Structure 1
C-alpha cells in the first residue's frame, strides 16, 4: 500500500516531456514517488494510507534555491541603504558576535520561511559578507543542521575558508564569555572535513555539504603581493580538491567579469561540480568557458549584484550552460520566496532585451526545479515528479483571486503565485505542512528564539542604531 496519494490536481511534472496533467495524481510510498498520471487511471490501482484531495490545486516538485546565506536571516535590512555598514555587520557577527544559538535560531527561521514558501531544498552559505565563513569550529555547522533536521526540509550547507588574510580572529561565546581565538586556513579545512564526515548525506539525504572558497577578483589580485597571491591560489585549489575528493559541489560567491577567465588560466577549479553565483557581466569568451567546462550558474536576479551588473543568464543558457535561480536571501532586501525570484528573473531579462518573449514562464520554472537540481548534482533525486525520485512535492492552492480563473495553471503559478499560496509541503515522503499548518515544528517558538538571538547579537555588537529607519527612507527619491 502507498503512503500518500494526491488526487484531482493539476500536475506540473517538470519531467523530460514537461507533462502537465489536468486531473492527475501523484503516489508516494515511503520517501519515493511511485506513480504519476491521470487520477482516473491511478486512483483505483494505488490504495494509500492517506489520500489528499488536490481539487483546485497544482502539484509541483518542491522548489530549489541554489544560492542563499545562513546568518543573514537575523541581520536582514540592518543599515537600511548603507551597504557598507551592512557588510561590516555581517563580518563582525559571523566572526566575533555569534554563537551556536545564533546559528541554530537563524537556520530555523530561514528554513521555516523556505518551508512555508514551498522551497524544499536550498543552498545556504555558512556566512557571507565578503566571504566570511563560520568555519572555525564544526559546532556552528552542526547547529545549523540541528535546526534543519527538526524542520524536515533538505539543505546543502556551503562551508569553506575565509579570504587569505591570515590568521583570522574569531570569538567563541559558548562558555558565556567572549574568548578570542586565531584560526588558520588549515583549521578551517579541518572543520569542513569534520562536517562532511559527520553530516553529509544524513537524514535520508536531506543534509548535505558543498565546499566553498572566496572568488578571486581583479581588486583582490591587484592589491596582493606575490606571496599572498600564491596563497590565495593554493587555498582555492585546496578547497576545490576537497570537493572533488568527496564528490561535492564546489561553489563560489560573487563572480563577475574576468573571474572565470582567471579561474581557467590559473586555478584549475572549473568543472561540472562548479557552481558560480551572481556571475555578472561575463564576456563572450567566459560564457564559452562555462559551456566547455560544464560549469553551473546561480543567477540571483533580485540581488544587488544584479543591479550593479547583469547576469547574462539568457546567453549562458543559449550556450548550453545550466542556470538555476538563487534567492541570495535573506538580505538586505530579498526573501526566500522563490516565486518572487522567478517573476523578477523574467522581468529582469525582458527589460534588458526590451522583449516580452524572453524567458518564457515554463523555462523560469525549470530554473527553480529541474535545472536547479542539476546545478546541485541532484537531478536524479529531486527537481521533477518522476517515478523513483525522492518525494519532494508541493501543493499550491490556485483557488485564489490572483490565480483565477482556473485555466493555464503553469502560467498562473509562474507569473502570479507567491509563497503564501503553498498549501502542502512533502519532503522525503513526510508531510511537513498541510493546509498551511505545520506538522514538524512550533512556529511561535522559532520566532521567539530568532528574536532572542537577534537581541543578543545586537548587544554584543552595539549596532542597535542600524535597526532605525534611516534618513531618506521617506520623502526622497534616493538615500
Structure 2
C-alpha cells in the first residue's frame, strides 16, 4: 500500500499539546496517519506519493455537530419569512417528498460539506419542527448511500416526532396516506441502526433523536412523555447509540436529566438561555453541548459556551445548516462564534481562535465518542485531513495560522480533502459529477414545491 506524504506544510495538529508545526511532514498509509512532525524529523519513505503542502495550512477534517437533511434544498424558500419556511419544510418532508428528493438533497449537502472541508457531520433526517422522515427506512438509506458516494462521514440522527401521535404522512411514492405512530418510528430507527453502524469504516452511523420537552409540557403530559423517554432509551441502549436533541433552553436540560435521557452519550444542540441547573446537569451527566452561533435560536437567546467550557463541559460547534441565512461554511461559524461572545462580554479576548478550532475538531470528536480516532493530526488517528490554500490576499501575510483559519478563511479556501486516507478533492476538483448533482437538486426542489403548492415562496 502506498504511503502518502504531505510535505512543506503548516500543520495545525490539535494534538494534546495543540502544536502548530511550520514546515511539517505528515505521513499516512491506508486509512491512518503514521507520522506528524518537522520535516527534518520525519523521513519520507522511498516511493511515497508526495502531496506538496507549500503555501498550505493543513488541519484535521472539520466536524459539524448539528445540521439538517432536507434543508439543503429548501433553504431559500420563504424570502426571510421564518414561519413560512418552517411550514414549507414540514409540508415537503412529510407529505411532498419522494426518494429522488432525499437522494438529491443528500448528494447536494454532501458535496457542499466536502468542498467546505467538513469530513464528519451529524445530520438530522428532517427536523425544523420535530418532523423526521422515519416512516420507513428509505430516506435514511438513501442519505447513507449518498454519504458513501460523496466519500465523507455522516452520523444520521433519526427519530421521533413531537407528540401527539399519530402523525399524518404521505408515502414516499406519493400513492397513499400514512398514519405514523410513535412505535412505528421507533421500529424504523432500530432498523436503520442495524443497517448503518460503521461511521469510521463505511462512513455512516446512526444516532437517536427525540424532541426537547419543556417543563410545562411534561407537567401536562407526564406519563406519556416519560413512557416515550424510557422507550427511546431502551432503543439507544439496545443498539449502543448516541443520543442528540435539537433546541434546549430554559430548564430543559435539567429536565432531561430528571427524565433519564442525559449521559455522556448525549450531545444537545442550541442550548440557549440556560439556567444554572441546566449547566450543572450538563456537567454532572457528561453530556456535550453543541453551540450553533449562526442560528436563529442564537439570535433569540444566548448559548453560554464560554461559561460551559470554563466549567469543564465539552462544547462542540454546529452549523445548523442549511437554512435561509446559513450554509455549511464552518469557517464562517467559527468567526461568528468569536464575535458572538466577544460582543456579549464586550471583551475581545473572551474566546480565541484556538477555542473555536477545538470546537469543530477535537471537542466535536469527543461529543460523538471518537476523540481517539478523529479530530486531530496524530499517529494512529484516521487520515481525515484538510488543506487550505493560503496563497490568497485575504490569508496573507503567511503568519499566525490559527488566526488565519478562524477569522479570515472561508470554505472556498479548501484545496484538498482527504477522508479515511482517500483523496476526495484535490485543487478543488472531485471525481463526482458535480453538474449532475446541482441539476438534480434544482429539479427536485422545483417539483416538490409544485406538488405542495408552494410556488409563492419563490418570491424575494
TM-score bucket (shorter structure)? over 0.9
CA contact (8 A) 2:215 2:255 kept: no
Say whether 1:466 aligns with 2:457: yes
Structure 1 203/100 Cα, relative in aligned 2: closer, same or farther at 3 Å? farther
> Which residue of structure 2 lines up, in the alignment, with residue 260 of structure 1?
253
Alpha-carbon distance in structure 2 between the residues aligned to 1:74 and 1:271 = 34
Secondary structure of the structure 2 residue equivalent to 1:436: coil
User: Structure 2 matches for 1:408-427, cutoff 5 A?
Assistant: 408-427=400-419
1:43-67 superposed Cα distances (whole Å, 9 cap, x missing partner): 44x3354211100101100000000
SS in 1 for 2:350: coil
The equivalent of 2:191 in structure 1 is: 194
- 1:49-64 paired onto structure 2 within 5 Å: 49-64=48-63
1:124 Cα deviation from its structure 2 partner:
0.3
Aligned pair partner of 2:212 in 200, 210, 215: 215
Give the aligned partner of residue 5 of structure 2. 5
Secondary structure in 2 matching 1:132 = coil
Relative to structure 1, the CA distance from residue 394 to residue 48 in structure 2 (aligned partners, 3 Å threshold; closer, same or farther) is: farther
For residues 371-382 of structure 1, what are the structure 2 equivalents within 5 Å?
371-382=363-374
Distance in 1, Cα, partners of 2:11 & 2:241? 32
- The 3-state SS of whatever aligns with 1:437 is coil
TM-score by length of 1: 0.94
- Number of the residue aligned with 1:119: 118
Matched position secondary structure for 2:248: coil
Match of 1:433 among 421, 425, 428: 425
CA contact (8 A) 1:211 1:240 kept: no
**How far is the alpha carbon of 1:219 from its aligned partner?**
5.5
Q: Tell me how far apart the structure 2 counterparts of residues 47 and 318 of structure 1 sit (CA, whole Å).
A: 47
Q: Distance in 2 between matches of 1:124 and 1:455?
A: 23
Gaps of 5+ in 2: none
C-alpha contact (below 8 Å) 1:291/1:321 kept by paired residues: yes
Instruction: Assess if the C-alpha contact under 8 Å between 2:55 and 2:390 holds in 1.
Output: yes
Instruction: Deviation per CA, 1:179-235: give whole Å up to 9, x if none.
Output: 11111111111111111111111671411111001110246446x4x4xx4222221
Instruction: Kindly indicate whether residue 328 of structure 2 is the aligned counterpart of residue 329 of structure 1.
Output: no
Distance in 1, Cα, partners of 2:82 & 2:411: 27
Say whether 1:383 aligns with 2:375. Answer: yes
Deviation at 1:286, TM superposition (A): 1.5
Aligned CA-pair RMSD: 1.3
State the Cα deviation string for residues 230-252 of structure 1 (Å, max 9, x = none).
Answer: 22222123223322332221001
The one-character-per-residue Cα deviations of 1:117-158 (angstroms, maximum 9, x if unpaired) are: 000000000011211000000011001111111000011000
* Count, aligned residues: 460
Moved more, 177-186 or 21-30: 177-186
- Tell me the equivalent position of 2:169: 170
Contact 2:66 2:319 in 1 (8 A): yes
1:231 counterpart residue number: 224
Query: Distance between the aligned counterparts of 2:21 and 2:367, measured in 1?
Result: 26
SS of 2:15 mapped into structure 1: coil
SS at match of 1:42: coil
Give the match's secondary structure for 2:57.
strand
* Alpha carbons 1:126, 1:158 under 8 Å: kept: yes
- 1:17-416 matches, cutoff 5 A: 17-44=17-44, 46-174=45-173, 177-201=174-198, 204-218=201-215, 220-221=217-218, 224=220, 226=221, 229-265=222-258, 267-416=259-408
Return the offset for 1:279.
Answer: 0.2
Quick check: 1:5–1:48 contact (8 Å CA) kept in 2? no
**For the residues of structure 2 that align with 1:264 and 1:114, how far apart are their CA atoms?**
33
Distance 2:209 2:46 in 1: 45
In structure 2, C-alpha distance between the alignment counterparts of 1:436 and 1:18, rounded to whole Å: 27
Q: How far is the alpha carbon of 1:284 from its aligned partner?
A: 1.7
Separation of aligned partners in 1, 2:217 and 2:91: 20
- Structure 2 Cα separation of the partners of residues 264 and 183 of structure 1: 28
1:26-51 per-position Cα deviation (integer Å, ceiling 9, x unaligned): 1110000011111222244x335421
Distance 1:50 1:309, change over 3 A: same
Give the SS at the match of 2:224. Answer: helix
Q: 1:351 Cα shift?
A: 0.3
Higher alpha-carbon deviation: 406-415 or 354-363 = 406-415
SS at match of 2:201: helix
CA contact (8 A) 2:190 2:239 kept: no
Q: Tell whether the 8 Å contact from 2:157 to 2:208 is kept in structure 1 after alignment.
A: yes
